Amino acid sequence: MSHSKWVMDSSASHHMSPDSLSFTSVSPLPSIPVMTADGTLIPLAGVDFVVTPHLSFPNVYLIMILELNFSFVG
């Protein structure tokens, strides 16, 4: 599965991506869960800057079990 597409999401609280290869580096964080819209808690692997050919985002959460990239718009 390609993780190159980003979904603009007004209900997201942060930029999030499962694609560790897009991160400039990954700063690991203590076990901090992220809550999904249905109340499920998912693990946050780290946070850092993401650079793609068309976009760049600071403070992106690396969440390995996501299937899409989400960009917070608000």
Contact 68, 12 (CB under 8 A): no
Contact 3, 69 (CB under 8 A): yes
Split at pLDDT 50, 70, 90, the class of 41 is very high
Mean pLDDT of 18-44: 85
Mean pLDDT of 8-25: 84
| Rounded Cα–Cα distance for residues 57 and 46 (Å) | 14
Mean pLDDT of 37-66: 88
pLDDT of residue 22: 87
**Helix boundaries (H) for 6-54:** none
Q: Which residue has the higher pLDDT, 18 or 29?
A: 18
pLDDT of residue 3: 60
Positive or negative: CA dihedral 13, 15, 19, 20: negative
Supply the pTM of this predicted model. Answer: 0.80
| Rounded Cα–Cα distance for residues 48 and 60 (Å) | 5
